Amino acid sequence: MTDWTPHTVRARDWFETLRDSICAEFEAIEREAGSDAAFEYTPWRREEEGNDDPGGGTRAVMKGQVFEKVGVNVSTVHGNFAPGFAASINGASDDSPGFTATGISLVAHMANPHVPAVHMNTRFLTTSTAWFGGGADLNPPIPYEDDTAEFHAAFRAACAGHNPTYYDRFSKWADEYFFIPHRGVHRGVGGIFYDHLECTDDSAWDRNFAFTQDVGRAFLDVFPKLVRRRMATAFTPAEKQQQLEWRGRYAEFNLVYDRGTLFGLKTGGNIDAILMSLPPEVIWT
């Protein structure tokens, strides 16, 4: 069986580098708006009975003038899935519950309703097998066709550099995944979502890691452009109300359907980091 430890370290190092680049760019946007807001970094350690090295992570949160609340989490954890939950994870079972996971997760809720909220995460997991997953989706309370088109174009290009089928497959997957069945609506305007990109050997790992890196780079390139385009747009009380009501749909999806939320809660993750995705202010009518 392949020892994936060196691969996990390489993936973790990339996720931390990506976090640092994203946080620096978001802070630069705050400076452009005349704000001195900065990320606050809080380390946390996972706890698991009988496990001397359960891992942990760092929660980075900023509340500013442009980014009402943005969190960028990086974690690397090891251990065993709880009985009953293991069977729901690729390559795991109650008889073989061991896992290692490393990843980055980001959610940004914006002060201006004309600026889209966004989610991005990428991850590498090992059980009896090893794979990459992740994606990004745009969540505008007030959609703009050109913003949606530019966001999708960035990820279409990232996909095209690796496999001509990826964008069609992964954008369709995002549309299916980021859907709120009890509301009958999508939570945003889509993006890409992928999972279980299997790493059968070093060559496959290198290919999937390179793609996952390009997903992160695509996000870092396109989202700040959309923020800068809209962050000074005037908005009305009615548009702010629209944003707060829309955030309720976002919260419903993350609490009821999101796999990452469930994974974090079932593996002893940091509660504040897991629920970082929830908006700071929301209205249900």
Beta bridge partners of 130: 126
Q: Which residues pair with 131 in a beta bridge?
A: 125, 198
Cα(227)–Cα(71) distance, integer angstroms: 16
Sign of the C-alpha dihedral computed for residues 97, 105, 204 and 76 taken in this order: negative
Beta bridge partners of 68: none
Reading the block at residue 30, the tokens are 């705050």
> Is 119 one of the catalytic residues?
yes
| Catalytic site residue from 7, 78, 109, 119 | 119
Neighbouring residues of 19: CB distance < 8 A, sequence distance ≥ 6: 58, 60, 72, 74, 104
Pairing of the two strands 130-139 and 117-126: antiparallel
The residue assigned the tokens 């691969």 is 7
- How far, in Å, are 102, 134, 205 from residue 268 at the CA level? 14, 20, 27
Tokens, residue 156? 């279409």
Cα distance between residue 217 and residue 280, in whole Å: 27
Residue 128 phi, psi (nearest 5): -80, -10
Q: Are 75 and 269 in contact (CB under 8 A)?
A: yes
d(CA 225, CA 243): 20
Where do the H-state alpha helices sit in the chain? 5-32, 145-160, 166-177, 202-230, 237-256, 259-266, 271-274
Catalytic residues: 119
